[in-house]
Amino acid sequence: MPIVSDVIKRLNEQYKPDEHIATAIWCEEDVIGFALDEMGKEISREQAQSILDQIDANQDCELGITWETIRSGIEALTE
């Protein structure tokens, strides 16, 4: 999974500083909070990282990353 410094480096290498882009960022806290608040499941930071790794590696550019993607990742890891 990329970390913030990796993303910043990639952005600096591929884009001009004044270029307009669209991006969505999901973090460990998003996954942990959703698991607890929406699913009643406690997951660790390491589990959240694993879920983000899987989502990043397998994301569908047609569908993007949504709360349902996060839900599926949590379910796959915890069931």
- Which are the contacts of 76, defined by CB distance < 8 A and separation ≥ 6? 51, 54
Nearest CA among 51, 69, 52 for reference residue 60: 69
54-72 burial string, b = 16+ CB within 10 Å, else e? bbeeeeeeeeebeeebbee
Query: 52: domain range?
Result: 27-79
The number of folded domains in the chain is 1
Is the residue at 13 inside a domain? no
Q: How far apart are alpha carbons 66 and 62 in whole angstroms?
A: 12
Is 2 a member of any domain? Answer: no
Cα-trace Rg, the chain: 14
- What is the rounded average pLDDT for all residues in the chain? 93
Residue 4 domain-assigned?
no
The answer on pLDDT for 48 being more than 80 is yes
62 within some domain: yes
**Whole-model pTM?**
0.86
Structural domain includes residue 40: yes
